[in-house]
Structure 1
Amino acid sequence: MLGMILLQAAAGVGLAKLGACIGAAIAAIGAGIGIGKIGSSAMEAIARQPESTNDIRSNMIVIAALVEGVALFAVIVCIMSLFI
């Protein structure tokens, strides 16, 4: 049912553009979930070992930046596929 609705909406746009938009959305949602899990795990680790707060925080920032970078590349590839 949902597939038919999406196909009807994309009849004038083309399936490639629809796929690119869905791909960008999935990449953004995946990055949000990943960074949320990283933050949650870091808070639990800090609660268990408060003396290593600075190490945990710096590792959390590095890993969150890597996740955000991968999501940015995914969104850029999806946007490039719109125009190519």
Structure 2
Amino acid sequence: MIANLILFGTLMVNAGAVLNFNFKKKTSETEGFGEKDVSEPTTGDQIRQFLQNLKFFRIFIGLWNICVMFMMLVLFGS
């Protein structure tokens, strides 16, 4: 059970890290004399920011993948 959860989490992080889309924030209309609309970030903005942050940690994700492959062979192999 724990091996399946580790594998699931690893695959989900890998999927997010290898996305090569341009995540651009929607430009909001300016109000008044060039003042920008300051509002709380939406859920979509937070997901976009999380996926952008994952791109910076690709080397660590790669090392984690090697660790998980080693564990699969040594600890969880039959």
Q: If the TM-score is normalised by the length of the shorter chain, which range does it land in? A: 0.3 to 0.5
Q: Which has the higher contact order (CA 8 A, sep 6+)?
A: 1
Q: So what's the TM-score if we normalise by structure 2?
A: 0.36
TM-score, normalised relative to structure 1: 0.34
Which structure's residues are more often helix, by fraction?
1
